[in-house]
Structure 1
Amino acid sequence: MLLGFDPGKDKCGVAILETDGKIIYHQVISSPEAVSTLQNLSQKFQVTKLVMGNQTTAKTWEKRLKQEMGNLPIILIDERYSTLEARDRYWQMYPPQGLIRLVPQGMREPPRPIDDIVAIILLERYLVEVRSQDE
């Protein structure tokens, strides 16, 4: 199992994917509870790798997680444009209902934070990268 982590100052996205890409779990959590949540998820789902974005707060989080998560390998992945991609993915996962369907997708704002969907996208990018190296 792979653990995806979209680190942030106030909130973070977490996701668990099987190596075949099947989504097992995803949630937005507050930053103060991130380490304990990551530890719990990694034990519960027997995680083999933690994949996280490489931008804004990545270096600080990476250092902290290396101290707190033991020997769990941490892979940094390019997270550029992942938020834009996550906005589109949100509407695929949760199709709009009612009148909001009439609003063009580019003008719709997801009704909740999408950091967990960003974590899913980071994991998918990692899996694509790994598969392309295997070919």
Structure 2
Amino acid sequence: MYLGLDPGRDKIGFAFVDENGELLYSGIISKKLFESFLIALSEGNWVELAPYGCEGDTSLLVDKNVELVLLGGGTTSEELERGLRRRKIEYKVVDESFSTLQARKMYYRIHPPKGFRRLWPLSLLVPGRDIDDLAAWALTRRWMEKKIVDGGVTHGS
């Protein structure tokens, strides 16, 4: 599985994604908790992530390993890169242009508007929660799609 990280000024969206691009589990953590997040990641202690979850279930992560971390290259990514290097976690930096717009679309695919809101254009709707985790999912899918176009996903790289 892959782990997407969408770094922000105060919080980090994360998304665990299977080899088919499907979302297994996602959430949002405070940037202050990143070191604890890395420890849980290194130990495969998925239960530690449960309080920060937004979509999916940590049980979907059991017996899986993170093959590669995909880090959004925008706001404050350098700080996260240092943490990943310190723990010797393999990562690639991904362009995060328009990932928030993609995340909004993903949010409404998962949580379709109800009632009269169904009639409004999605661009006028505001998601019912922060969507940094879905931006991380968008980054991961973008990288996966690029790898397919470039000649296939290489596992273990």
Q: Name stretches of at least 5 consecutive residues in structure 2 with no aligned partner.
A: 45-63, 153-157
2:11 is matched with which residue?
Answer: 11
- Which moves more between the two structures, 26-35 or 76-85? 26-35
1:57 is matched with which residue?
Answer: 76
Do the aligned partners of 1:82 and 1:121 also contact (CA within 8 Å) in 2? Answer: yes
Letter in 2 for 1:99: F
Task: Please tell me whether residue 80 in structure 1 is matched to residue 100 in structure 2.
Answer: no
Q: Residues 57-93 of structure 1: CA distance to partner in whole angstroms, max 9, x if unpaired?
A: 11222122211xx222110000011111111211111
The count of corresponding residues between Structure 1 and Structure 2 is 133
Q: Name stretches of at least 5 consecutive residues in structure 1 with no aligned partner.
A: none
Within 2, Cα distance between the matches of 1:62 and 1:132? Answer: 26
Within 2, Cα distance between the matches of 1:72 and 1:12? Answer: 17
Identity of matched residues, %: 35
Within 1, Cα distance between the matches of 2:20 and 2:13? Answer: 20
Aligned pair partner of 1:113 in 130, 135, 147: 130
Which TM-score applies when normalising by structure 1?
0.89
Within 2, Cα distance between the matches of 1:99 and 1:34? Answer: 40
Letter in 2 for 1:86: A
Within 1, Cα distance between the matches of 2:144 and 2:15? Answer: 14
**CA RMSD across the alignment:** 1.6
Task: Please tell me whether residue 122 in structure 1 is matched to residue 122 in structure 2.
Answer: no
Which TM-score applies when normalising by structure 2?
0.77
Do the aligned partners of 1:35 and 1:65 also contact (CA within 8 Å) in 2? Answer: no
Within 2, Cα distance between the matches of 1:39 and 1:22? Answer: 24
Letter in 2 for 1:131: I
Runs of at least 4 residues off by over 6 Å: none
